[in-house]
Amino acid sequence: MASALDPPPPGPTVGRFPIAGLVRRARRIVRLSQHQMARFAKVSPSTVGRVEAGSLTPSMAVLERLLGAAGLYLTVVDQNGRLVQPMADREDVHDGAGRR
- pLDDT above 90 covers a percentage of the chain that reads 62
Average pLDDT, the chain: 88
At residue 25, the 3 state secondary structure works out as helix
pLDDT over 60 (residue 8): no
Rounded Cα distance between 50 and 71, Å, is: 21
pTM for the full model? 0.75
Contact 48, 37 (CB under 8 A): yes
CB count in 10 Å sphere of residue 36: 15
What are the backbone angles phi and psi of residue 69, rounded to the nearest 5°?
A: -60, -25
pLDDT over 60 (residue 1): no
Alpha carbon of 70 to those of 34, 57, 82, 87: distances in Å? 11, 19, 23, 27
71 vs 98 pLDDT, higher one: 71
